[in-house]
């Protein structure tokens, strides 16, 4: 039973990071119908930027949490700028192009960011320093680290802010209107370029936060670290119903839980035939199952035939 609760905690932590990335996918998809393949790479850039900032600040002797906060802010700014530039340079011109063109461009962009990161930061994996107290908090059996606490808390705050932003502000209303019908939104005085840029910036900021969390939680950063989280976060977005914000959160947390519990019990259940290294394929199996049984996702509307 103790393992079970421990895996639930791990799953929630993993799931909140997926949720943050999935929100970026789902917002972009909701507005311009593009799977932004490069989104996982934005997470990677956030993590590596934060690593650089932390390494630079390491000798100043400031407390760990302050270093982390500064690096987080720098990462958010860098990622937001990057994603803004990507949209303007690569995706904007392809808005009316046939569907394959932006998708292939996004794939190329993902490859480009990975390669550039490999050139800038060198390909070897780098240890991310422990900035927060490492003493785990005992919850009567299962334990939770300070970093994990922080991840859960921060995710909750961010989600609440995002919900407020989307549902209560003028920008949020413009975003929802553009997602629903870009042409009519334009007629109502919404500037689509502005809304799309805002969406990319917000998505990048969320991915940057997730990237720093990922680095702090797993303690290593590398140019290829963005691929799997990105792919799984997209799965989470589809799982919850792409284009739906609440769905992305639900899908992310669900996927995190399934993965953590699956990895913990798979070996026992199958009598050692399938070990925990198969954890990575849960996401894809879940994706195929969802697409077969409920293509619109758990909370989603029908998007299959939207032309």
Partner 1 sequence: MKNKMVMFLLAAIALIALPLFAQQFGQGWVRIMALALLYVLLALGLNIVVGYAGLLDLGYVAFYAVGAYMYALLASPHLSENFAWIASMFPNGLHAPVWIIVPLAALLAATAGVLLGTPVLKLRGDYLAIVTLGFGEIIRVFLNNLEQPVNITNGPRGLDRIDGMHLFGLDFGKALMIGDFRIPSVTMYYYLFLFLVVFSVIICHRLETSRIGRAWMAIREDEIAAKAMGINTRNMKLLAFGMGASFGGISGAMFAAFQGFVSPESFSLMESVMIVAMIVLGGLGHIPGVILGAVMLSALPEVLRYVAGPLQQLTGGRLDASILRQLLIALAMIGIMLSRPRGLWPSPEHGKAAPAPLPKPAG
- Footprint on this chain of partner 1 (rule: CB under 8 A): 33, 35, 90, 93-94, 97-105, 107-109, 111-112, 114-116, 118-119, 122-123, 227, 231, 234-235, 238, 272-273, 275, 277-278, 280-281, 283-285, 287-288, 291-292, 295, 303-307
Listing DSSP states for 79-141 in one string gives HHHHHHHHIIIIIGGGTTS-THHHHHHHHHHHHHHHHHHHHHH-SS-EEPP--S--PPEE-SS
As measured in angstroms, the least distance from the Cβ of 216 to partner 1 is: 26
Beta strands in the chain (DSSP E): 126-127, 137-138, 143-144, 220-221
- Among residues 207, 158, 206, the alpha carbon closest in space to that of 45 is found at 207
Cα separation, 255 vs 13, in Å, equals: 11
DSSP letter at 143 equals E
Distance CA 216, CA 185 (A): 41
Residue 13: burial class (beta carbons within 10 Å; 0-12, 13-18, 19+): buried
Shortest gap between Cβ of 290 and partner 1 (angstroms)? 10
Q: Are 148 and 219 in contact (CB under 8 A)?
A: no
Between 24 and 142, whose beta carbon lies closer to partner 1?
24
Contact between 113 and 224 under an 8 Å Cβ cutoff? The reply is no
Task: Name the residue nearer to partner 1 (CB basis): 51 or 282.
Answer: 282
C-beta separation of 255 from 18 below 8 A: yes
Smaller CB separation from partner 1, 1 or 273: 273
Smallest distance, Å, CB 66 to partner 1?
Answer: 32
Shortest approach of partner 1 to residue 266 CB, angstroms?
A: 12
Least Å distance between CB 264 and partner 1? Answer: 17
Question: Shortest approach of partner 1 to residue 226 CB, angstroms?
Answer: 13
Contacts of residue 176, defined as CB under 8 A and 6 or more positions apart, other chains included, come to 166
Contacts of 181 (CB under 8 A, 6+ apart): none
The CB density around residue 291, as the number of other CB atoms within 10 Å, is 15
Minimum distance, C-beta of residue 107 to partner 1, in the bound complex (Å): 7
């Amino acid at each position: 039973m103790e393992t079970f609760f421990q895996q639930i905690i791990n799953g929630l932590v993993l799931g909140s990071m997926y949720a943050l990335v999935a929100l970026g996918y789902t917002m972009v998809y909701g507005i311009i119908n593009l799977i932004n393949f490069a989104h996982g790479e934005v997470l990677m850039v956030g993590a590596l930027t934060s690593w650089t900032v932390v390494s630079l600040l390491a000798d100043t002797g400031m407390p760990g949490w302050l270093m982390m906060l500064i690096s987080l802010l720098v990462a958010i700014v860098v990622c937001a700028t990057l994603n803004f530039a990507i949209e303007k340079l690569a995706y904007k011109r392809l808005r009316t192009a046939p569907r394959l063109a932006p998708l292939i461009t996004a794939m190329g962009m993902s490859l480009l960011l990975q390669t550039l990161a490999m050139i800038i930061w060198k390909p070897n994996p780098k240890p991310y320093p422990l900035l927060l107290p490492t003493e785990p908090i005992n919850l009567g059996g299962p334990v939770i680290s300070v970093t994990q606490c922080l991840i859960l808390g921060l995710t909750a705050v961010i989600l609440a802010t995002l919900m407020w932003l989307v549902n209560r502000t003028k920008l949020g209303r413009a975003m929802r209107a553009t997602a629903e019908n870009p042409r009519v939104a334009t007629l109502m005085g919404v500037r689509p370029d502005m809304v799309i840029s805002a969406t990319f910036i917000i998505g990048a900021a969320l991915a940057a936060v997730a990237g720093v969390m990922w680095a702090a939680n797993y303690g290593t950063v590398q140019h290829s670290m963005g691929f799997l989280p990105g792919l799984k976060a997209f799965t989470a977005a589809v799982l919850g119903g792409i284009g739906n914000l609440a769905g992305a959160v639900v899908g992310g947390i669900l996927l995190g839980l399934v993965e953590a519990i699956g990895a913990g019990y798979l070996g026992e259940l199958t009598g050692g035939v399938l070990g925990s290294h198969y954890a990575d394929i849960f996401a894809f199996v879940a994706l195929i199952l969802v697409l077969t049984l409920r293509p619109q996702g758990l909370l989603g509307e029908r998007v299959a035939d939207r032309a």
